[in-house]
Amino acid sequence: MISDHDPIVAIATAPGRGGIGVVRVSSPARLDALIEAIAGRQLTPRHAHYLPFKDADGVLIDEGIALAFPAPHSYTGEHVVEFQGHGGPVVLRRLLARCLEAGREQGIRLAEPGEFTRRAFLNDRMDLAQAEAVADLIDASSEAAARSAAASMTGAFSDQVTGLADRIVHLRMLVEATLDFPEEEIEFLEKYQARSVLDAIASDLSHLLAQARQGAILREGLHVVLAGQPNVGKSSLLNALAGFEAAIVTPIAGTTRDKVVQQITIEGVPLHIVDTAGLRETTDTVEQIGIARTWTEIEQADVILHLLDATQPQPELDAAITSRLPARTPVLEIVNKMDLVDGGNDGAGAGGNAGAEADAGAGAGADADADADADADADADAGGSQRAARVSAETRVAGHPAKRLGISALTGEGLDTLRQELLAIAGWNPSGESPYLARERHIQALLQAADHLDIAGEHAALSDRVLDLFAEELRLAHGALTSITGEFTSDDLLGVIFSRFCIGK
Ligand code: GDP
């Protein structure tokens, strides 16, 4: 178990060569001795000093900028000093070794990954969601993700969460007060319009949840699995979406025996497209293993693209596949090779299917309601329900097939529509408010809070109101929300969160 009281040091800049490299030290105790030893003088707080950095024998290691940030006005809230030298691996290693040597008496050690940010959290310089956003900003793989991470880092997401938590606390106070003065109880809910206050909180919470879902898609990417019989054009579609030959395309059925994953972005949204072994009866052992893996991928998909061949309709075989697709995952039926069909996309497509974009009967959105969230939790299986929670409730309860699109992986026909459909199915709304970069953890906490508010609402609706149960659900909803910002968070969770940072941050 590492101590949060040791002075720590790390190279804060990326490994490799660069114009500048930074070695950063943080310590609960003042760092005067270390600074004096390396820079040869004391530093004015928050002033840039251009100085020689020397080793124990007075030999020059580098010349650079030294900056001191005394507690509490620093990134970590502790005493921090930064030595900014030239960004070469050897010079930075020497500077790091010099810090370890000069701080030995104070018990200095190398920082763990994320330990500077962990201290910033422990010293109330930022809450947990903000600390996570720091890592997400560093890891952002698209401009949209970086923008959203920056918004979360400055506290925009935390403010929303805290605002909701405060409103719940306020309502709880009123309920608890009423519990303490039972003669008032009967009138309580009417008097304080508790029900409408609760409904307003629940409605704002579901708005925040929708934004968080978008943020989670931005962060984690959407897992899109291409499934279908051999030779329908799965690998060709993967290549067409990727814009290059990521998978091998041949007219020989059974070419793709293991999955091929390709990352692409559509309007800044990352997608992990998984090409799988074609689904068919086979005696080939290797192919059978590939097919088993395909079903595993399908189980874990956020979205399934079920490919059909417009020239070779095989409705029974496709129906057999459809019947095995998980009910809660959105499915797009993609009728490929439309270039070979008379009339292209005007034609009916495979097996007399209604043309492109025919809605698959009832379903889509019509009977979507908030229960979808509870359902997704209920059938929790490895990762599946967690990811399903990212996709909007409406698309999940729609069942499948959600829609049928005609495309040609060869000519590119219909691919733009497919891209837009993928974004829509992900609940992505480009003209919506800029989302915060949220994590699965946040979404699960928001879902929990929403569930407790729902139950609280049921108690409030009963004629013989059960105020203490109402209060208890509010307390649980509040607890779920504050776990996002880290007011009450176990050490184990902190360990997991910060260990995923890079060293020096
Ligand atoms: P997979 O087994 O489902 O991955 O199918 P492939 O992508 O390997 O394609 C099988 C065959 O169909 C190859 O010969 C492709 O060139 C051909 N093909 C795939 N998509 C199209 C398309 O849209 N139009 C035409 N004309 N041929 C296609």
ipTM value, please give it: 0.98
Between the CA of 67 and the centroid of ligand 1 the distance, in Å, is 61
Beta-strand (E) ranges in 285-330? 303-309
CA-to-CA dists, residue 42 to 34, 39, 77, 364, 398, angstroms:
10, 8, 20, 68, 67
- Per residue in 139-185, pLDDT tens? 887 777 888 889 899 999 999 999 999 999 888 887 777 777 666 55
- The residue whose CA has the least distance to atom 9 of ligand 1 is 233
- Closest ligand 1 atom to residue 251 Cα is 14
Using one digit for the tens of pLDDT, what is the confidence trace for 197-241? 999 999 999 999 988 887 887 788 888 999 888 889 998 999 999
CA distance 416 to 403: 15
Domains annotated for the chain, with CATH where assigned, are 8-127 (3.30.1360.120), 141-214+438-499 (1.20.120.430), 221-425 (3.40.50.300)
What is the 235 CA–ligand 1 centroid distance (Å)?
7
Q: Which atom of ligand 1 is nearest to the CA of 307?
A: 3
What pLDDT was estimated at residue 81?
Answer: 97
Residue whose CA lies nearest to ligand 1 atom number 20: 233
- Residue 325 backbone phi and psi in degrees, to 5: -70, 140
Instruction: Report the DSSP beta bridge partners of residue 331.
Output: 304
Task: State how far the Cα of 275 lies from the Cα of 53, in Å rounded to an integer.
Answer: 54
Q: Was 285 annotated as part of a binding site? A: no
Alpha-carbon distance 323 to 327, whole Å? 9
Out of 226, 232, 235, 236, mutate this one to test ligand 1's pocket (max ligand atoms within 8 Å of CB): namely 236
Rounded to 10°, the helix 491-499/115-122 angle is 140
Instruction: Enter the tokens of residue 437.
Output: 């970069």
Binding site annotation covers 127? no
Amino acid (one-letter) located at 395:
T
- CA dist 327 and 448 (Å) reads 23
In ligand 1, the atom with minimum distance to the C-alpha of 411 is 23
User: 226 — phi, psi (to 5°)?
Assistant: -90, 120
| 169 HSE (CA, 13 A, CB side) | 10
Other CB atoms within 10 Å distance of the CB of residue 69: 21
Q: What are phi and psi of 445, to 5 degrees?
A: -65, -40
CA distances from 358 to 233, 235, 362, 406 (A): 21, 25, 11, 10
**Angle, in degrees to the nearest 10, between helices 491-499 and 128-139:** 20
249 CA to middle of ligand 1, Å? 7
406 CA distance to ligand 1 centroid (A)?
14
Per-residue model confidence (pLDDT) at position 279: 78
24 labelled as ligand-binding? yes
DSSP bridge partners of 264: 271
Among candidate residues 267, 266, 276, 270, the one with its CA nearest the CA of residue 238? 276
CA pseudo-torsion sign 48, 51, 57, 61: positive
Ligand 1 center from residue 357 Cα (angstroms): 21
Ligand 1 center from residue 410 Cα (angstroms): 7
The Cβ-side half-sphere exposure at 325, using a 13 Å CA radius, reads 28
Q: What is the pLDDT of residue 254?
A: 61
pLDDT of the residue at 240: 92
CA of residue 245 to ligand 1 center, whole Å: 13
- 97 labeled binding residue: no
Residue 49: the pLDDT is: 97
Residues of the chain falling short of pLDDT 70: 1, 181-192, 245-258, 342-402, 426-434, 462-465, 488-490, 492-493
pLDDT value for 191 = 60
Ligand 1 atom 17: residue of nearest CA = 233
Position in ligand 1 atom list of the atom nearest CA 248: 8
483 is in an annotated binding site: no
| Interacting residues of 180 by C-beta distance below 8 A, sequence separation 6+ | none
Residues with CB under 6 A from ligand 1: 230-236, 249-251, 255-256, 278, 336-337, 339-340, 408-410
CA of 402 to the centre of ligand 1 (A): 24
**Helix/strand/coil for 85:** strand
What residue's CA is closest to ligand 1, atom 6? 233
- The one-character DSSP state at 45 is B
pLDDT value for 51: 96
How many whole angstroms from 250 Cα to the centroid of ligand 1?
7
Pocket test for ligand 1, best of 234, 237, 238, 249 (most atoms within 8 A of CB): 249
Among 225, 231, 273, name the best residue to mutate to test ligand 1's pocket (greatest count of ligand atoms within 8 A of Cβ).
Answer: 231
